[in-house]
Structure 1
Amino acid sequence: MYTLTTTDEHRFGSDVYVLDLLRTPTGGLVSISSDQKLSLLDPASLRRGPVSSFQTDHGNLTTLRLFGDNVVCTAGENGNVGVWDLRAGAQVVQFATSEAPLASMACNPETQTIAVGTELHNHEASILLWDVRSAPVQKAAYHDLHSDDITTLTYHPSNPNVLLSGSTDGLVSVHDTSVADEDELTVQTLNLNASIHRAGFLGPSLVYALSHDERFAIYDISEAQGSGDAIKDFGDLRGGTGCQYVADIVPKNDGSGAIVGAGAQDQQMFELMFLTNNQGSWEVNRGNSVGLPGAHGEEIVRAYCFFDESQMVFTAGEDGRVKAWRPGN
C-alpha cells in the first residue's frame, strides 16, 4: 500500500458533518454540510476556511451536484432545488419540484436539465425532470419507476437522453427519457436484491451498483448482453477488502475502471482501491491501493476527490473536516 499524508485541513465545527465534496471544473472545491451550508474552498489553502459560504433553504440539505464550470445545484427535504453561481457568489434561482423530500439529483448541462428523485411519499416515489433554460419548467414526471426512495440518479456519459436510477427497492434502471410513454421508458432493469446506495456508468454500456450493505456488482447493458444479470458480482466488498464501509465508487475519466473508496473506523484508515478490467475480468486491486492513515479518526469519510496533476486527494468526513492529502517527503 502506498500512503499519503495530511497536509492541510479545515474544520467546519464539532457538531457538523461534511455531507459531500466535489471538485469543480475550474479547480475549486465545493462542499455541503449538516449546518445547511454550501461552501466554496480553495484547495491550495483549506486552513483559511471557505472562500465563500451560502446558507441554503432546503430544510435538511441532502444533495450537491455540478451543473457547469461555476454553477452547482443543491436539494433537500423540502423538495426545493437551488441553483448557485459560485463565481458571482449568489443563488441564481430556487424552485419547488415536489412536496416529497428529495433524495437524489442529476444535472445535464448539455440539455439544461435537472433530474430529481424523491423519497417514498404518499405511496409514491418519483423522478422529475426540469428544464432550467430560462425559468424552471417541469418537462417530465415519472411516478411508477420505483417502489421506494430513489437514492441515486446519473446521466449517461455521452447520451443526454439516458438516465440511470437506483432505489432502496433494490433495482437499478436505465431509462430513455426521449420516450414519451412512461410504460416504454425503461430500457433495462437490474436487480441487486439490496437497497441501492450508489450506481453509475463505467463506460457507454457498463453500469455498477453498490448497496447500502456494501454489495457490489457490474452489469453490461448492451443489446448483446440484455439478460440483466451481473457480469461480475463481487458480493459484500467488506469480506474481500477488510473494510467496514464503502463511501463511493468514482469512475476514472479514461473509462479504464474506477476508484473504490473504503474505510475502517476501528483502524482509522481510509483506502483508495483500483477497480480494474483485465481482459474482461473485473477485480478490486488492493496491491496498488492508496492509504490515508488516520483518515477522519473514528468518523466515517463521506466523500473524496482527486487532483491528479498535483498528486493530491481531498476527503470530507463526519468529523466536520475537509482534509488534503499528498505523498510524504
Structure 2
Amino acid sequence: MYQLTAVDGYKYPKPDTYVLEILPIAAGLAAIASDQTLSLFDPTRLNAGPLKQITTDHGNLTCAKVYDPAESIVCTAGENGTVSIWDFRINPIKPAMQIRACSNPTHTLAAGTELANHQASILLWDLRSSPSSPKITYTEIHSDDITELTFHPTTPNLLLSGSTDGLLSISDTLITDEDDLVITTFNHGSVHHAGFLNQSSEIYAASHDEKFAIYDMSDGTIEKGAAVLDMGDIREAVGCQYLANVVPKLGGNNGAVVGVGAQDQELFQLVHLAKGGNGQWGLDRESVVALPGAHGQELVRSFVFYDEQQLVITGGEDGAIRSWRPT
C-alpha cells in the first residue's frame, strides 16, 4: 500500500452541501452538487474556486453524465423529469437544449424512470433527427426504478440497464420489438452501479447492499447468467464500509479502479481490479492506494484521475472537492 497526500481543495460555502458527481472534460473538471449547481473547476487549482457556475432548473439535481468530453458537453438530470445539455465552450454557460433524458457519449440519449403507475420505462432520443420526442420507449425490461444506463463504448447499439428489481439487462436497441430486444440478463440484486469494463464484453455490478460481481455478456443467456467473479459483500472482502464507484482504466482491457471507504477510519482507498495471466479477475491487494483523511467521516461520492498531472480528485458529502498527489 502507498499513500497520496491532499494538496489542494475547494469547499462549497453553503452548509450541508453534498458533492454529487465530478466529471473530467476537456475544459477542466465538471461538478454537480446538492445546492443545485453545475460548476467548472481547474483541476490543478481547485482552491481558486469555480471558473464557471450555473444554477440548474431541475427541481432537485440528481445526476450528471458527459455527452462529449472532447467538446466539453455535459448533461444534468433532475427529479422534475428533465435533462439539460450544457456546452462549457459557451460563455456564459447555456443549455444547448432541454429534453427528458439521460445521456451517453453517442448521438442517442437514454433516460430511465422511477416506478410509476406500476411501470418503469427506458426512453431513447435521437438528437440528430428528433430531439424533441423519444424515438422509442421500453416498458417491459424492468419492473422497478431504473438506476443505471450506459451504452457499450464500441458497440453503441448495446444498452446496459440496471434496476432496483435486481436485474442487469443487455438490450440491442436496433431491435424494435420489445419482446426480442433483451439479449442477456443477470440477476445481481438491487443495482447501484454497473458498467462495461472498457471494450470488453465484461460488466461490473455493485448492489445497494455492496455486493460486487463481474459478468460476461458473451457467455450469459436470459435463462442462465452466472458471474465470472462473485465477491459477495465487498465490505468483507476488502475491509471497508462502502463502495463509492468503479472507474474503468482507459485503453484496451486494463481493468478498473474500485473506490472504497471507511468513515470511522477517515480513509478512502483505490484498489486495482485486474485480470491475471490465467484470465481470472481479481483485486490487486498489493497496490492499494490510500487517501488518509479522505473527507473526514463523510462519504466520498465520486473520484476521477488526471494521469498526466498525477492527480486523483475526490468529491464528498462534506461539500468538498480535493486533489491528491503521490507523497
Same-fold call, TM cutoff 0.5? yes
Name the structure 2 match of 1:16.
17
Distance 1:252 1:96, change over 3 A: closer
Q: Secondary structure at the match of 2:16?
A: coil
Name the structure 2 match of 1:91.
95
Name the structure 2 match of 1:81.
83
1:67 aligns with 2:67: yes
Among 183, 208, 212, the alignment partner of 1:212 is 208
Distance 1:113 1:136 in 2: 12
Once the two structures are TM-superposed, the CA of residue 151 in structure 1 deviates from its matched residue by 0.4
Letter in 2 for 1:238: R
Once the two structures are TM-superposed, the CA of residue 225 in structure 1 deviates from its matched residue by 4.8
1:28 aligns with 2:32: no
Give 1:175-214 correspondences, 5 Å limit.
175-192=171-188, 194-202=189-197, 203-214=199-210
Distance 1:217 1:66 in 2: 25
Give 1:1-329 correspondences, 5 Å limit.
1-13=1-13, 14-24=15-25, 26=26, 28-68=28-68, 69-88=71-90, 89-96=93-100, 105-109=102-106, 112-133=107-128, 135-192=131-188, 194-202=189-197, 203-222=199-218, 224-226=219-221, 227-254=224-251, 255-278=253-276, 279-328=278-327
1:289-316 Cα shifts (integer Å, max 9, x gaps): 1100000000000000001111110000
After TM superposition, the structure 1 stretch with the greater mean CA deviation from structure 2, 68-77 or 125-134, is 125-134
Distance 2:174 2:220 in 1: 22
* Structure that is richer in strand per residue: 1
Once the two structures are TM-superposed, the CA of residue 286 in structure 1 deviates from its matched residue by 2.0
The answer to whether the 8 A contact 1:217-1:233 is kept is yes
The answer to whether the 8 A contact 1:128-1:138 is kept is yes
Letter in 2 for 1:63: C
Distance 1:10 1:263 in 2: 20
The answer to whether the 8 A contact 1:19-1:317 is kept is yes
The answer to whether the 8 A contact 1:157-1:204 is kept is no
Structure 1 gaps of 5+ residues are: 98-104
Once the two structures are TM-superposed, the CA of residue 91 in structure 1 deviates from its matched residue by 1.3
**RMSD (CA atoms):** 1.2
1:64-96 Cα shifts (integer Å, max 9, x gaps): 001112111010101001010011021111124
The answer to whether the 8 A contact 1:17-1:317 is kept is yes
Q: Secondary structure at the match of 2:176?
A: coil
Count residues in correspondence.
Answer: 316
Name the structure 2 match of 1:100.
none
1:86-131 Cα shifts (integer Å, max 9, x gaps): 110211111245xxxxxxx34133xx11101111111111111112
Letter in 2 for 1:217: A
The answer to whether the 8 A contact 1:39-1:53 is kept is yes
1:103-162 Cα shifts (integer Å, max 9, x gaps): xx34133xx111011111111111111122264331111111111111011100101100
Distance 2:239 2:150 in 1: 29
Once the two structures are TM-superposed, the CA of residue 240 in structure 1 deviates from its matched residue by 1.1
1:239-275 Cα shifts (integer Å, max 9, x gaps): 0101000000111113221100000000000000011
Q: Secondary structure at the match of 1:238?
A: helix
Name the structure 2 match of 1:101.
none
Once the two structures are TM-superposed, the CA of residue 208 in structure 1 deviates from its matched residue by 1.2
Q: Secondary structure at the match of 2:180?
A: helix
The answer to whether the 8 A contact 2:185-2:220 is kept is no
Distance 2:139 2:300 in 1: 33
Distance 1:132 1:49 in 2: 33
- Aligned-pair identity (%): 52
Q: TM-score, normalised by structure 2?
A: 0.94
Q: TM-score, normalised by structure 1?
A: 0.93
